[in-house]
Amino acid sequence: MNLNFQTSLSIPYTNNSQKIRAMSEPWTEKNIFCPNCGNKLSEQKNNKKVSDFLCKNCLENFEQKASKKKFKWKVISSEYYTLIKRIKEKNKPNFFFLHYLDWIFSVNDFFVVPKYFFVAEIIEKRKPLSSTAKRAGWTGSNILFSKIPNSWKIYYIEDWKEISKEKILEKWQKTAFLKDIKKDNLKGWILDIMNCIEFLDKKIFTLKEIYTFEKNLERLHPENKNIKAKIRQQLQFLRNKWYLKFLEKRGNYMIL
């Protein structure tokens, strides 16, 4: 895979963001496949698109964010209320994130975050523009990367290293069961438990270790009065979906 942008595509533009879009989106269309089915992606036409890319085989759609900075803490995104509405729609997009090196215009990192991980809790509302601004009252947003665990990011390229297609497709399918969960509160619980498991940074962990997050989960779910029982319920759900395995020693689990 050629990781370099075709810089000649940026010549007609003077605005930096337009230049990057003109170079990065054709690069993605040429090099990146659909993580759901493995087929080629098509770039959507500017005057028709509700997303940047579409897989015409399985109809998954994708929006792309490109940045010369690593995606670590916050990423400036679109208008807040529009984005919140978008991620609640039935056809909401998956998100591609492209980190490029601006001194050579080359892709350093490229990964996808599946749409079912995008919930309102990871979107931060920015301060509205002042009354004297050209777009007075316009409210921007940030995507809080600090709330997106690494296990939710499916890399195609990481630090200039290309990941095999087989691994990408396999990792996508590992959490695809989340697409079928329609209730936000249920999905929120599952994602929170997956987050706790990610924080432990262990292949094998114990129920006792997950219980250490009880106070944090109480703050996130004040309506629930039996947190430990809810934790066990979500671990059982993740086992039934082949995300976890219960080990012979009681209260021990392994990530599959």
Q: 43 to each of 29, 56, 101, how far by Cα in Å? A: 6, 10, 23
Q: Which of 136, 116, 134 is nearest to 183 (CA)?
A: 116
Give the SS3 label for residue 195.
helix
pLDDT digits (tens, 9 = 90+) for 168-215: 999 999 999 988 887 777 788 998 999 899 999 999 999 999 999 999
> 94 and 192: one domain?
no
Contact 146, 195 (CB under 8 A): no
Q: Which of 112, 104, 109 is nearest to 52 (CA)?
A: 112
Given a cut of 70, is residue 48 above it in pLDDT? no
Residue 194 lies in domain: 184-255
Query: Does some domain include residue 177?
Result: no
- 3-state DSSP percent of the chain in helix, strand and coil, to 5: 40, 20, 40
> 24 and 91: one domain?
yes
Query: Does some domain include residue 1?
Result: no
> 58 and 158: one domain?
yes
Sorting pLDDT into bands at 50, 70 and 90, what band is 3? very high
Given a cut of 70, is residue 53 above it in pLDDT? yes
- Local structure of residue 33 (DSSP, 8 states): B
Q: d(Cα 170, Cα 180) in Å, to the nearest integer?
A: 18
Residues 6+ apart with CB under 8 A from 126: 80, 139, 140, 141, 142
| Average pLDDT over every residue of 14-38 | 95
CA atoms within a 13 Å half-sphere pointing along the CA-CB vector of 228: 6
How many helices (H) and strands (E) the chain has is answered by 7, 13
pLDDT for 44: 85
> 25 and 119: one domain?
yes
| Average pLDDT over every residue of 62-68 | 93
The number of distinct structural domains making up the chain is: 2
> Considering 172, 196, 211, which residue would you say is the last residue of a domain?
172
Sorting pLDDT into bands at 50, 70 and 90, what band is 46? low
> 39 and 166: one domain?
yes
Residue bearing tokens 């292949």: 203
pLDDT for 122: 87
**pTM recorded for the entire structure:** 0.86
